[in-house]
Structure 1
Amino acid sequence: MMTITLLAACILFAVSLLHVFWAFGGKWGIAAVLPEQEGERTFSPSVIITLVVAFLLSAAAFILLLQANHIHLSETYLIVQVGASVCAIVFALRVVGDFNYFGISKKKRKTKFSMMDTYFYIPLCAFLSLAFIVAIIYGG
């Protein structure tokens, strides 16, 4: 359990830092992270939205570390338990997708994003969901 949850927390922190990098103008990897339709992005998130996502990813990592007891608190808090459950559900829903652009249910399958989604983002989100479930069952 310790390895799974620590690895997942490190991944969440790294992806959070990547979002901060993008928010401040970084271009590395940006071509394959947003869904496309006919060669155009379906949306372009603002700097604020990108920073909010970065914050949420860091918060998820922190919640995971708390739920898995890597960070010890004198007492357990309901917000940590609820947060871990919400994170597990959100990442599981990301795996399922929106029935159009992302997830296992996507219809658009011939874009750079959809290929990355199939081979990288979906397995990553499944792993993250599993890590939260493991932390909920064994950590708290």
Structure 2
Amino acid sequence: MPLFNTLVFAFLAALHLYWALGNKAAPAALPAHPDGRLVLRPGRGLTLLVAAGLLVFAGLSAAGAGWLPLPFPASWVRAGNAAVAVLLLLRVVGDFRYVGLSKRVTGTSFATNDTRYYTPLCLLLALSTLLGLLHFAS
């Protein structure tokens, strides 16, 4: 499962980098109000920050599997992967309005994609990360 996580995080980092370089994200990739107005309009800097974070997640996944040597103690890599799992589980729960299982705004294209793809992917990544932690802790 670390290979899956590493590839997905790397792909998502590349996608965010693509968007940061001036290519518009599809409207269905961003939460929207019921009237269609976007909840947020992330600029280049924030999109680059998300891309960097996703790249760190990919690196932590690869390092946890032993594929990427890092100049950090293994306990730091395990703690980093645990933090990734917690963040993903928080994303699954959501913000009680626009994202995750707790969302109340459901009539937008983002909400549909969130229910079908984004939230299940976050849950799969979180569970995979937790399984990796259990496997590599021994």
Q: TM-score, structure 1 length as denominator?
A: 0.91
Output the amino acid matched with 2:29: V
Matches within 5 A, 1:40-79: 40-72=37-69, 76-79=73-76
- The answer to whether the aligner puts 1:34 opposite 2:33 as a matched pair is no
How do 1:96-107 residues align onto structure 2 when only pairs under 5 Å count?
A: 96-107=93-104
Unaligned runs of 5+ in 1: none
Following TM superposition, by how much is the alpha carbon of 1:59 offset from its aligned partner in structure 2, in angstroms?
A: 0.3
Give the deviation of 1:72 after TM superposition: 4.8
Q: Is the 8 A contact 1:68 1:138 kept in 2?
A: no
Matched, 1:82 2:79: yes
Q: 1:22·1:30 contact (CA, 8 Å) conserved in 2?
A: no
What is the rounded CA distance, in whole Å, between the counterparts of 2:17 and 2:73 in structure 1?
30
Q: CA deviation at 1:31?
A: 1.3
> Which residue does 2:112 correspond to in 1?
115
TM-score by length of 2: 0.92
Runs of 4+ in 1 over 6 A off after TM superposition: none
Structure 2: segments with no counterpart, 5+ residues: none
Matched, 1:6 2:3: yes
CA drift of 1:78 comes to 2.6
Q: Tell me, yes or no, if the aligned pair for 1:109 and 1:115 is still in contact at 8 Å.
A: yes
Whole-angstrom distance in 2 between the partners of 1:110 and 1:100: 12
Letter in 2 for 1:30: A
**Residues 99, 107 of structure 1: 8 Å contact kept:** yes
What is the number of residues matched between the two proteins?
Answer: 136
- Secondary structure of the 1:108 match is coil
Q: Kindly report the root-mean-square deviation, in angstroms, between the aligned alpha carbons of the 2 structures.
A: 1.6
Identity %: 32
Letter in 2 for 1:104: L
SS at match of 1:131: helix
Q: Distance in 1 between matches of 2:76 and 2:121?
A: 24
Cα distance 1:73–1:44, how it changes in 2: closer, same or farther (>3 A)? closer
**CA offsets, 1:34-64, max 9 Å, x none?**
1101111011011011001000000001101
